[in-house]
Amino acid sequence: MLPPVLHALVASRVALLRTRGAMQLEILALRHQLAVSQRSVPRPRLQPTDRQLWVWLARLGSGWWVALAFVQPRTITAWHRQRFRDHWRHLSPNSKPGRPTIAKELRNLIQDMSRAHPTWGAPRMVGDLRKRSIHVAKSTVEKSRVHPRKPPSPTGKAVLKNHVQALVSLEFFGAPIRTHTVLVVLVILAHERRRVVHLKVTEPPTVEWTAQPGVEAFPWDEAPRYLRRDRDSMDGVSVRQRVRHMGIEETLMAPRGPWQNPSVERLIGRIRRECLDHVMVLTERHLRWLLTEDCQDDHRWRTPLSLAMDGPEPRPGQPPEPGSVIAVPEVGGWHHHEARRAASVGMHVRGEGVTATGMRSRV
């Protein structure tokens, strides 16, 4: 039995001797058989010679795709590209792709040079090797040399952890009152327990007023070692001199970098969201009372994650024996804390009325 390709070539030669009518009848019969095979055979099996035949037909004729039925025209194009790749792969030498590997002796020499001269860079090592008639690329030297491990520089989190007991932060923020006047609030936060150690309210302050809270917040024998603040113009020369005389070292933030003092910025944001944004501040005295009550409530009842779910002022847990959990109002009833009913009897509660509620942290 002849191969399909050879059989097609012989049939094409014989067709030249036949009449036109006989050829039309044969074409009709072949088309019918092709339609039946397409209907019954899901996918024809092609040999490499079949693919080569259609690749050559695609190169010789312009309307070769008209008679194509068993595959798509793009399949013939893919066969042609694969044949082109196979041809040039056969002509190429049988070697591994990429750059040739360098000798082990040269790699050891580069490593010995990098250990002996740790301050040398790759360009200098390339130049030194060329003086010894060894020509290598800079990338080869960079890849083969020994890279000494440098100790990682401490991050901001590590610095805060190491100096948290001796670090405080100072920040100002504005608070509007009913008379459309913006009062300035000064906050000094101790990072060790997230406590507000000083809180002061005034109208647009002077430099002398700014220097005074440092003396009021820290006695001479309890002054912290580091003070974190921004580059506000209210911190004048007298402020820096007062801080220096107390033995406190200032660490200044970068301009327009509030993220470098996140703890106090988070505290100010919490005061705005949970207190000032919901209360009409009447006077300076009223604002001072609100901030004091809010900070005391925060110190007693807040449980931040950074303090292992304990408050800035540590407090023991309450056993279930004293009774059900009730809500105790704070800050004039704006905030509440939860406590056992019997345990809340002996506590100093501001406000009137106590309502039973389920377990919740704040309302």
Q: How many domains does the chain have?
A: 5
Q: How far apart are CA 355 and CA 219, in angstroms?
A: 42
Decide if 284 is inside a domain.
Answer: yes
Decide if 152 is inside a domain.
Answer: no
> Please, are residues 129 and 136 in contact by the beta-carbon 8 Å criterion?
yes
Q: What is the DSSP pairing of strand 167-176 with strand 226-229?
A: parallel
Residues 184 and 258 in one domain: yes
Top pLDDT among 351 and 149 is at 149
CATH code, domain with 262: 3.30.420.10
Residues 213 and 80 in one domain: no
- CB half-sphere exposure, 40, CA atoms < 13 A: 6
- CB half-sphere exposure, 174, CA atoms < 13 A: 6
Residues 4 and 72 in one domain: no
Decide if 99 is inside a domain.
Answer: no
Mean pLDDT within 276-291: 90
What's the mean pLDDT when you consider all of the chain? 76
Residues 136 and 177 in one domain: no
Residues 164 and 285 in one domain: yes
Decide if 293 is inside a domain.
Answer: yes
Residues 38 and 49 in one domain: no
Decide if 149 is inside a domain.
Answer: no
> Please, are residues 323 and 341 in contact by the beta-carbon 8 Å criterion?
yes
> What b/e readout covers 332-361, taking b as 16+ CB neighbours within 10 angstroms?
eebbbbbbbeebbeeeeeeeeebeeeeeee
Residues 251 and 225 in one domain: yes
Which residue in 250, 224, 225 sits closest to 236, CA to CA? 250
Residues 291 and 166 in one domain: yes
Decide if 150 is inside a domain.
Answer: no
Given a cut of 60, whether residue 348 has pLDDT beyond it is no
DSSP letter string over 313-347?
A: S--PPPPSTT-SEEEEEEGGGTEEEEEETTTTTTS
Decide if 195 is inside a domain.
Answer: yes
The encoded tokens of residue 87 equal 């041809």
DSSP letter string over 154-189?
A: PPHHHHHHHSGGGEEEEEEEEEE-TTS-EEEEEEEE
In the prediction, which pLDDT does 109 show?
A: 92
Given a cut of 50, whether residue 320 has pLDDT beyond it is yes
Decide if 98 is inside a domain.
Answer: no
Residues 64 and 190 in one domain: no
Which residue in 244, 241, 263 sits closest to 253, CA to CA? 263
Choice among 17-21, 60-64, 78-82 with the minimum mean pLDDT: 60-64
Please give the torsion angle defined by the CA atoms of residues 225, 231, 236 and 241, in that order, rounded to the nearest 10 degrees.
Answer: 20
The encoded tokens of residue 22 equal 């006989």
Top pLDDT among 173 and 71 is at 173
Residues 207 and 268 in one domain: yes
Choice among 89-93, 227-231, 335-339, 345-349 with the minimum mean pLDDT: 345-349
Q: What is the pLDDT of residues 216-266, one digit of tens each?
A: 677 666 778 888 888 877 666 667 777 777 778 887 888 877 777 888 888
Given a cut of 50, whether residue 297 has pLDDT beyond it is yes
Residues 164 and 218 in one domain: yes
Residues 228 and 166 in one domain: yes
Range of the domain at 275: 157-307
